[in-house]
Chains A and B, each alone.
Chain A
Amino acid sequence: MKEEYMTSEERITAAMNLEKQDRVPIVPLVGMDLAATYYKLNTVEMHKDPIKGLDIMLKFFDEFGGWDGHTTFPLVKSAYIISGFKVKAPGQELPDNYFAQFDEGEWMKVEDYKTIADIGWSKFVSNEYIYRISDWTPEDVDKARKEFWKLLLKAIEEWVVKRKTGLRTGTSRTHPFFTLSLSRSMIKFTQDLYYRPELVEAALDTMTDEYIKHTVSQMKYTGGNVAYIPEERAEGAIYPLKIFERFWWPYTKRIVEGLNDKGITPWFHLDQCWDLNIPYFKELPRASCILDFDGLTDIFRAKKILKNHLCLMSDVSASLFSIGTPKQVEDYVKKLIDKLGVDGGHILASGCEVPPDCKPENFKAFLKTGKTYQLSKE
């Protein structure tokens, strides 16, 4: 078997730039829920003290021999609230053995669009919205922000400096469209898109500029170079292309351009089925972003369309990790490597998060095949 000759950072950078690597870079989304489940712990204390959540993630990473890249911090309730998302957490609104989940509702009102357009999402959240989605006081907000920054910097130190992982995210903010959909609730937001489009557009416009500015400034502070941008609600499985073209695509192009200008690569985490939207991404400059799918988009068709144009992050599904066999995982990983890695533009990953009930033997098969298959073949 051949030897590895690249660092994780080099491997990931090569994949993003559509260049060949020694082997495929591996970037599973592993959160504290999986790590905690593996060690037979619940996450109650981790939501109260996020450093404990990070510690368990690091322990899990080390025990499984590591991989090439990682998101930087555990997604605890306080981190969601700071960003403006209402979440239910174990030990608080949910039983101790549950996992944190979005509490979607019409928390944001129609009249809030104008406020957001005027002052931006962050100020809207800080000034009033955060008190609508939590029982926090201003002192709690200050405390949570300080703790969050402490966590983020420790996470960077642990992942990037000590463990030399690539894909330095350094920030995580949902796409402005997704932010509004989650905050208004999907059905109300859909009504807004059709019946109050100007209000939505004005808010998206402000949020997009703010998004770029915020991300650039946070990256300077954290040293990150990849912006993780989740979006699960704009795709052709839900909306016709005229909605996508008006409310998602122009803002996304602005984000790509604005971040690329500052040397930052957007990493679009695109859950659900994006088959209909894939051809639009040809309009973006070559190697300008990463597209990350969850198993519902036909990634092999996406590769045909975007070959030698954009880096794709693959999609071993949550169900395969959870109830599949090691052989099924191995076979699928080999297929991904064979079919997607031809121009180098492939990062091997989980489709969305590796689920908390992932069988350890399946995760091992995923890592082992990713680390050895190409090297043993060539």
Chain B
Amino acid sequence: MKISLNYSVHLSQIMSSQLTLNLIELEYEKVLSEVKERLIQGEEPMRIIKECKQGLALVGERYKKKEYFLAELMLSGELFKDVMELVEPYLNENTTEENIIGKIVLVTIQGDIHDLGKNILATLLKLEGFKIYDLGVDINPDIIIEKVKEIKPDFLGFSALLTTTFDPMKYVVDKLKEIGFRDQLKIMVGGGITNNLVKDYIGADFQTIDGTLGVQYCLDVIKARGGG
């Protein structure tokens, strides 16, 4: 028996498709079987993606209302990944899902091999239309600097679970300042050991231990720049 989520259905959801509703309720099997069926029947894949994204947006709404937790955000993100695996073979080369609203480089710096928080944030940002450049874990600071120069992202996001990452992160920020790249991007830091003290120490613009706040920060920055 699947665990019942038993949350109230909002009016906006009643107007949604069954696929959207099933995604909101995290009905894993139902979502995937409907997607498979509709693809076989030749339905336009972008329409399926759109309905799923509507579901994801409503999952996010429930999270903001504290009806859903990080667990449900993760589950919806995983479910969407599985939907995309089914849909991708049906997308032709010219199909563009949506315009990219911003670029972000995500990384766990040298000395630290943890990637859970970084991966969750990457999933959430991707769903909002950000292009993710995930450099991985245990990455040399100079490689990060080179990647920032090459990609010219809107954001650089550090994930950290060890205090020994503070100085290497500070090195990257200082170096970006030195070579004139600092003002062109916002720098974020997150992870269980981070707080405002760490933000100020490394010279970041934003700190959080809540991935959804990280996403909101990125959206706010893009909006303030007139994008999004």
> Which A residues contact B (CB, under 8 angstroms)?
88, 94, 98-99, 101-104, 186-187, 190-191, 193-195, 197-198, 236-240, 242-243, 246, 271-273, 294-296, 317-324, 355-358
Contact = CB atoms under 8 A, between A and B. Distances in A.
A319 B164 contact: no
A243 B193 CA distance: 25
B163 A194 contact: no
Given A186-B116, A357-B164, A272 B69 contact: no
Given A239-B70, A323-B198, 16 more contacts: A99-B162, A186-B74, A186-B116, A191-B28, A193-B71, A194-B26, A195-B3, A237-B69, A239-B69, A239-B71, A240-B71, A294-B192, A323-B197, A323-B201, A357-B163, A357-B166
A296 to B, nearest CB: 7
B134 interface: no
A319 B194 contact: yes
For the complex of A and B, 5 pairs with smallest distance between CB atoms: A355-B163, A322-B163, A240-B69, A238-B70, A323-B201
Contacts of A239: 69-71
A318 B163 CA distance: 7
Given A190-B71, A238-B69, A271-B192, A197 B209 contact: no
Contacts of A186: 74, 116
Given A317-B193, A319-B198, A323-B201, A103 B113 contact: yes
B53 interface: no
Given A194-B26, A239-B69, A296-B192, A320 B197 contact: yes
Interface residues of B, number: 32
Contacts of A319: 163, 166, 193-195, 197-198
B26 to A, nearest CB: 7
5 contacts: A195-B3, A198-B1, A273-B209, A319-B195, A355-B164
B112 interface: yes
Most buried by B among A321, A322, A357: A322
B75 interface: yes
A190 B209 CA distance: 19
A103 B162 CA distance: 14
Contacts of A240: 68-69, 71-72
Contacts of A94: 113
